Structure 1
């Protein structure tokens, strides 16, 4: 890991990001003029609280100059920012046009371009990213002897076998390249990573070229003043992956697939399509029996093999087909033993089923119109003939994706019997205001809809009332999965977890 002020300035200059270099004595644009600045940075950070002797600090986002109050005492070596902070620190500054782009480029250099030592797969889409990533990870692990790393919204895995809870769908670029370096040093050959729309919006994957990328599907989501102002902006950010991959795997039934294919053609990116029971797709997943327990993977009409999933739901067949296409896209032949690796994949908080007598509870991360509809579709397909009584326990995130509040209600209100609105990651917004807004979108007078602010109490109420009713009862608890915290006022507050609450109540 070797990066100096001069080499950093040179990289930024070559990528047309450098505005000027401000030192104690001068302002300059020429990296060669600071040739004597050859001391290597000891560390890199975007958190001023983590400055140590010899650190390079990235001043990005909502950075305030007050954060530099003790920077010189802590040993700040230099900073990267879009403005001059020389009145707050004696450290030299690399003034750039975009701090987050600069951070991604310099992070890659500092960690000695670990992506070049890995075959990197990126997966984007509105829904299915995590499941597809886990399925592809299982197959590539099976093919390589556990030499596949994973970055997902649920867990990160840097050694092929150990999983640690993640904080973001796509890590900040500095964290991502640090983790890539650790994975490469651990002997990993592959990396499968989820790529969110925000990853391109805020440059978390700036400058990163994927060996293969999957574009699963697209539908409105993350529309809010602090995320994407419009669906077009959300879709455009997602589409950036097409220009930054060597080959693309695309859902045949993806909305606006024609535009994505045009994008690929203009950028000379070959496309492989996938579908479920679909005509014309390159890779298809075909249900093998009426019990929906097994399916066949086909490539241009030729059988690759059969597979069953521990993850229920026909929509996961599409995720499996995408994973197969991505595995092949990076040169790994898909054989029956490789397909068998998908059969044991389970993801905490994804379609987790719990049973107690004639009662079924499902804990899932569903959080928008598409995923909520898909979950209810699954209940209808599997249990519709039994006319189950359905209770949905949900909330909606605060400070972002305000469109979800209406969409979740619209997806559910004419298809469930009971709707309990409750706490989710409300951040700094009032949970009561969010729940009341959602309740205001209910237009079905037959729906039993109410607010129970305490999430634990909401789930306990749903289970208790279900036990008092006759016939099959289905309880859907969505949004939090297996997370052990709830975000409130920018802090993670400990929480038992939806899955553990159901497990406790069903024990």
Structure 2
């Protein structure tokens, strides 16, 4: 829809140059500009959007929104370009969240799995065609699925996705909300009908600077949310959040939680547990492993119950929920298990390796073999912590390259290896080769964990981006391994 001049000035709080009657599109990417667009020059971490104004004008932009004047360009000067981008995106796409119920899920670990669990429950209660999902792993609109670009995309993409879902009859959306998405105003203007907080541990301090600021950023979602607010209280940050925000309901193992997790035990396909609320206990089962996934499922169940979804509907939906891409995803094996997981912090890696140990013990006294690395251009302090966790919890580890971006992969690996105890890790920088070494090392009853990339299909390296999908690479190597072992047996 077109945004007229008067509306533009109201949104921007700034004078729009004479001759600009309105806009018929908005973007922060000069490559996507079309005739009649507004180009928002967002100051980036590496380059300033003002540098791309000439290209935007050449492609037909009629208005530039920037935080300073740009000579020779029709500019509306604003104090916050990202806030302006969000406001314009909301207006251009017709404020789609006002016609929907959007539920935001935030925290350090468990966001994606919690989103999938809540989406499964809402789909079971209200029909899959009327429910949408926006996560790190993929976007689901009714029965249509496609890979996601990032956890929380830019404001224009968020509003475009919501508008597309609205047009297809979706009325309830589960959205994974990252701290970047909040801090960089990517979700500004979204009306949240409810929210879930999973937990908080060290991550993204390269952006936030401190755990306090990281926490305050996450808390903003709960100040926006208009409906049920569910907070996991098994860590101190969750307990603090529950005490600082009005109307919060809590879940977890902790005594006094409004929705208390009890009687957790493994099942053949995953985990069983009871969720006690108001004197009654709802028996639940999920096709997921580990107590942390019980917490994730409990948060989703608690919010659904707060919405009035019947307990039997919640139980049936969780029991049948699909495997979450790249979240303790079982890829196969040759008498041993191979797991792909997105764990990219020391806390996430510890949780995954502890569950892997439980799985290894179920069948035999198998070993845990881990392939992992750390991302470049991110909080470097967690690198040795990850090395320490792997050396303590895995029997054998291969430190490899994650997303190095512009950093030297060898330097990152050395910093990870600095935390390794007893020399129980080997550096193999080539990720495919590291995975190959781990799979060839594995024997019957072992569990191989390939951590860090999860569902992602691209590896960001100093020399450029290259296609790489852990699960696909694992399957290719397993085929080679099966063929080789088959030939060996024939001899």
Q: Same fold (TM over 0.5)?
A: yes
Are positions 1:3 and 2:3 aligned together?
A: yes
Structure 1 residue 335: Cα displacement: 3.0
- Contact 2:200-2:238 within 8 A present in 1 as well: no
Deviations 1:215-269 (A, max 9, x none): 1111111122xx121111211211111211123101121323343123213xxxx
2:154 counterpart residue number: 172
Counterpart of 1:103 in 2: which secondary structure? Answer: helix
Counterpart of 1:413 in 2: which secondary structure? Answer: helix
Counterpart of 1:333 in 2: which secondary structure? Answer: coil
Are positions 1:44 and 2:22 aligned together?
A: no
Counterpart of 2:241 in 1: which secondary structure? Answer: helix
Structure 1 residue 288: Cα displacement: 5.8
- Contact 2:28-2:49 within 8 A present in 1 as well: no
- What are the residue-to-residue correspondences of 1:61-210 with 2, within 5 Å? 61-62=43-44, 63-85=48-70, 87-89=71-73, 92-146=74-128, 147-157=130-140, 159-210=141-192
Comparing 338-347 and 244-253, the one that deviates more: 338-347
Are positions 1:474 and 2:447 aligned together?
A: yes
Counterpart of 1:123 in 2: which secondary structure? Answer: strand
Deviations 1:17-46 (A, max 9, x none): x3x54x3xxxxxxxxxx6x743x4221111
Counterpart of 1:427 in 2: which secondary structure? Answer: coil
Structure 1 residue 454: Cα displacement: 1.0
2:484 counterpart residue number: none
Counterpart of 1:379 in 2: which secondary structure? Answer: helix
Cα distance in 1, alignment partners of residues 384 and 301 from structure 2:
35
Deviations 1:374-413 (A, max 9, x none): 1122133344474432221111111112233122112221
Comparing 396-405 and 353-362, the one that deviates more: 353-362
Q: 1:345 to 1:285 in 2, by over 3 A?
A: farther
2:482 counterpart residue number: none
Counterpart of 2:323 in 1: which secondary structure? Answer: coil
Cα distance in 1, alignment partners of residues 255 and 205 from structure 2:
33
1:388 counterpart residue number: 366
1:280 corresponds, among 245, 251, 256, to 256
Counterpart of 1:414 in 2: which secondary structure? Answer: helix
Deviations 1:425-452 (A, max 9, x none): 111111111112211222x22x332211
Counterpart of 1:392 in 2: which secondary structure? Answer: strand
- Contact 2:271-2:288 within 8 A present in 1 as well: no
1:31 counterpart residue number: none
Counterpart of 1:294 in 2: which secondary structure? Answer: strand
1:494 corresponds, among 458, 467, 472, to 467
Structure 1 residue 101: Cα displacement: 0.8
Structure 1 residue 358: Cα displacement: 4.1
Q: 1:325 to 1:387 in 2, by over 3 A?
A: same
Counterpart of 1:502 in 2: which secondary structure? Answer: helix
Counterpart of 1:80 in 2: which secondary structure? Answer: strand
Counterpart of 1:116 in 2: which secondary structure? Answer: helix
1:27 counterpart residue number: none
RMSD (CA atoms): 2.1
Counterpart of 1:308 in 2: which secondary structure? Answer: strand
- Contact 2:119-2:133 within 8 A present in 1 as well: yes
1:28 counterpart residue number: none
Are positions 1:406 and 2:384 aligned together?
A: yes
Count of aligned residue pairs for this structure pair: 470
Q: 1:357 to 1:207 in 2, by over 3 A?
A: closer
Cα distance in 2, alignment partners of residues 136 and 441 from structure 1:
37
Return the TM-score normalized by structure 2.
0.90
Cα distance in 1, alignment partners of residues 92 and 463 from structure 2:
30
Q: 1:401 to 1:161 in 2, by over 3 A?
A: farther
Cα distance in 2, alignment partners of residues 74 and 358 from structure 1:
57
Q: 1:130 to 1:490 in 2, by over 3 A?
A: farther
1:237 corresponds, among 217, 221, 225, to 217
Structure 1 residue 499: Cα displacement: 1.3
2:245 counterpart residue number: 264
Deviations 1:312-348 (A, max 9, x none): 222111111100122233x242331342122232112
1:255 counterpart residue number: 236
Q: 1:465 to 1:70 in 2, by over 3 A?
A: closer
Are positions 1:505 and 2:481 aligned together?
A: no
- What are the residue-to-residue correspondences of 1:398-437 with 2, within 5 Å? 398-437=376-415
Counterpart of 2:205 in 1: which secondary structure? Answer: coil
Q: 1:290 to 1:261 in 2, by over 3 A?
A: closer
Cα distance in 2, alignment partners of residues 6 and 371 from structure 1:
49
Structure with the bigger percentage of helix: 2
Comparing 349-358 and 74-83, the one that deviates more: 349-358
Cα distance in 1, alignment partners of residues 40 and 263 from structure 2:
51
Counterpart of 2:122 in 1: which secondary structure? Answer: helix
Cα distance in 2, alignment partners of residues 399 and 61 from structure 1:
18
Cα distance in 2, alignment partners of residues 65 and 366 from structure 1:
36
Q: 1:145 to 1:280 in 2, by over 3 A?
A: same
Return the TM-score normalized by structure 1.
0.87
Structure 1 residue 355: Cα displacement: 4.6
Counterpart of 1:320 in 2: which secondary structure? Answer: helix
Cα distance in 2, alignment partners of residues 231 and 102 from structure 1:
27
- Contact 2:369-2:397 within 8 A present in 1 as well: yes
